[in-house]
Structure 1
Amino acid sequence: MNQYVIRPVRGDEWAKVKELRIAALNDPAAPVAFLETVAEAEGRPDAFWQGRADGTSHGRTARQFVAEGPGGKWAGSVTVLVEESGTTDIFGQDIGQAQGHLVGVFVRPEQRGTGLTEGLFRAALEWCWSLEEPELGRARLFVHEGNARAAAFYRRFGFEATGHVVPVPADPSAKELEYVLPRP
């Protein structure tokens, strides 16, 4: 972990954002970790990736954090979306209080268990709690009911299951479980 720097993505790093996302979608756990397929990601134009990198590099609505290693290779990432009260989330649910929504969690297999995921989460949550407008009352994430490894990590990190369940958009017979972490 010591050789990695965890930092926000820069707007001009769209090609690396794309490469890491496609690597994540090629991971064997992708079907229970992401709501997108490799084919969908590979079919998106460069303008999409440019917008994604730019949109998560500054401002107060979203931030993507990456773990950058020697030679500039990215080993992992997490993105925070700010959900303001009075809006709806990606599942169409009303947002009661402003919150950070952690999405796109991925660490390359060879770096799992090294502390990178914890470092990415610390950076993401530090950013969440630093926002003053809107002040975020909690952070949340969803985990597929079949992704026990991820759920165990989230619990170890302090997230708790709320009991709120939503269907997976591509497979309504599968469920996503909500986990939350209150603002300290």
Structure 2
Amino acid sequence: MTLNHFDDQFEDSPQAHDAERAEDLFVLLSCYLDGEVTPEERKQAERLLACDSEARQIYQQLSCISSGVQLMPVAENPVSAEETTAKVFARMRQQRQRRLAWGGTAIAAMFVAAVSGLSPHLGPNNQQFAHTPAPVSEDIGNLAPSETEPRSEQPLNREDITSRALFIE
């Protein structure tokens, strides 16, 4: 059985005819209610309403829907299409600016991370070692200066100080 043959059988059935008739009635009566019919269609709609109960039922339903729509509250301050469009584009601009700001922040963070990785003092492979001072005399008793010994007023030699200092590079 082909699709066309099936369609032909469906169109010949009374249910398909009833559904098509109900749809045609709906369209005709909806246009009649809205005042969008030709004079010939107006006569046809009035004739159907006078003698067809299904047409009267559809017309009654459409009339209730129409009056319900007319009774619906309308916004007191309707916003014009231009204002709505301007607001939508303003929101889109704000969202784009936020995305750009976050993207710029991410790029800046990546740049800082890359630059800090290249820095010789902050790099991850840069290890810091403490250097021990040069050995001094083994005389433990003379660690603290005694007050009885006179201080020498000789200037400090830089090489002596650096050899005893603890450096961290």
TM-score, normalized by the shorter chain, greater than 0.5: no
TM-score (norm 2): 0.18
